[in-house]
Amino acid sequence: MALRRMGIILALLAIATLLSPAVSARFISLPTYHLPITTPPLADGLAFDLYSDSCPQLETTVRSAVQAALQQEIALAAGLLRIFFHDCFPQGCDASLLLTGANSEQQLPPNLTLQPRALQLIEDIRAQVHAACGPTVSCADITALATRDAIVASGGLPYDVPLGRLDSFAPAPSDAVFQLPQPTSDVSTLLSAFQTRNLDNVDLVALSGGHSIGRARCSSFSNRFREDDDFARRLAANCSNDGSRLQELDVTTPDVFDNKYYSNLVAGQGVFTSDQGLTGDWRTSWVVNGFAGNHWWFYGQFGSSMVKLGQLQGPSGNVGEIRRNSCFVPNSQTILAAAGDDGFTASA
C-alpha cells in the first residue's frame, strides 16, 4: 500500500512538473547563459515587405550578385560587413559613408582601410537593381541586404532585413565618425559608445563576432606585441615589423562565419585588444562564454543585433533621398541636391 501511495505521489509530481513552466524549465536542456532574443519595433519608415510590389526581384538580385562576387573573392564578405557597421554607427544607416569628395567620411582615419572592391560591389548591385526596378531602392537598403547575404554565404544564418532607409544628403560629422570602436578600446569605452546608440552589452559581444571573418593590418594591433604571452609573440612574429601585413582575426576558421571566434577569445587568442578584453570584464565575459558554447544562440543573437544596428537613424530621423545615378555622389553635389538642385530627388 505504501509503495502504491508513493507511486501515485510521484505521478502527480511528474504531472505538476509538466504543467509548471518554472519547474519544467529545470529539466529542459537550455543553452548556457541563454537569454530571450528580441527584436525592437521597426524604426521610422521601415518595413519588411516594402518592395514586394515595386521591386519583387530585389532580394534575389542582391543575393545572386553577392554570391557570385564571394565565389571570386571571399574577403568581400568582411569588407561589406565593415562598411555596413562604419556607415550605421556614426549617424545611422544612411549610406553617408558612400559619399565622396570634400569632407567625406571615407577621408577620415577610421575609414581609410575600407575595401574599395566591397564599396564598388555595392554600386554594381545598385546599378543592377535600378536597371530592373527603376530608382526605387536606396543605396542604404542595398548595403544592408548585401551585408546580410554575405554573412549567409560565409556560413551564417539568414535574418530578415527591414527596408525603407533613405540615403543621406551629407556625411556624418567627423566627431561621430571618430566614435567608431577602435582595436585598442577597452570594454568600458566600447559599452559607453554602444549604449548611446541603444545597443547593450549582448549586442556589443554579438556584433564583435563580425570579426569571425576578415583580416586586419598589423599596425592596428601593434600594441599587443609588448605583451608577454605565446599568442602575442606569435602575432609579433607573423607581422615581422611589417605594419601593412594582414592577420586573420579568427585564427581557427578565418573565412567561415561561425562561433569559433569566441572559442578563440576564451583560449586567449583574440587579435584586437577590444576583442580579448571582452573575456576579462564581467559585463561581457558571460556572453562570450555563452556564444562559445552555443553557436545557435550566437547566430540568433547576431541577426537580432544586426537588425537593431540597421535601424539606427540620425537626429532628424529617416530623411534623405534615393540616389539615382550612383551611390558615390560627390559631397558638393549632394549639398546642392538638398537645396533643390536638378538631378537628385528627395524621397519619403
Tens-digit pLDDT profile for residues 213-229: 999 999 999 999 988 89
Alpha-carbon gap, residue 27 to 29, rounded angstroms: 7
**Span 17-24, average pLDDT:** 35
**What string of DSSP letters covers 228-277?**
-SHHHHHHHHHHTT-TT-EEESSSSSTTS-STHHHHHHHTT--SSHHHHG
Supply the pLDDT for residue 27. Answer: 30
Is residue 250 a known part of a binding site?
yes
Instruction: Please measure the distance between the N-terminal and C-terminal CA atoms of the chain and give it in whole angstroms.
Output: 78
Indicate whether 341 pLDDT > 60: no
Is residue 92 a known part of a binding site?
yes
pLDDT in tens, 142-163: 999 999 999 999 999 999 999 9
Is residue 315 a known part of a binding site?
no
**What string of DSSP letters covers 112-171?**
TTS-HHHHHHHHHHHHHHHHHH-S-S-HHHHHHHHHHHHHHHTT-------B---B-SSP
- Which helix H or strand E contains 304, and what residues bound it? helix 295-310
**Span 318-333, average pLDDT:** 87
Q: How many residues does the chain have?
A: 348
Residue 36: band (very low, low, confident or very high) from pLDDT cuts 50, 70, 90: low
The alpha carbons of the chain give a radius of gyration, in whole angstroms, of 23
Alpha-carbon gap, residue 197 to 281, rounded angstroms: 21
Is residue 280 a known part of a binding site?
no
The better pLDDT of the pair 306, 101 is held by 306
Supply the pLDDT for residue 338. Answer: 43
Supply the pLDDT for residue 316. Answer: 84
**Span 21-39, average pLDDT:** 44
Is residue 105 a known part of a binding site?
yes
pLDDT in tens, 87-121: 999 999 999 999 998 889 999 999 999 999 999 99
**Span 191-203, average pLDDT:** 97
The better pLDDT of the pair 4, 279 is held by 279
Where exactly are the structural domains of the chain?
57-214+249-310
Is residue 253 a known part of a binding site?
yes
The predicted model scores a pTM of 0.85
* Of the options 1.20.1250.20, 3.40.50.720, 1.10.520.10, 1.10.150.120, the CATH number for the domain spanning 57-214+249-310: 1.10.520.10
Is residue 181 a known part of a binding site?
yes
The answer to whether residues 129 and 62 touch, using CB atoms and an 8 Å cutoff, is: yes
Supply the pLDDT for residue 20. Answer: 37
**Start-end of H helices in 20-102:** 21-24, 58-72, 76-91
Indicate whether 170 pLDDT > 80: yes
Q: Is 86 a catalytic residue?
A: yes
**Span 78-87, average pLDDT:** 98
Check 34, 86, 130, 295 and give the catalytic one.
86
Residue 34: band (very low, low, confident or very high) from pLDDT cuts 50, 70, 90: low
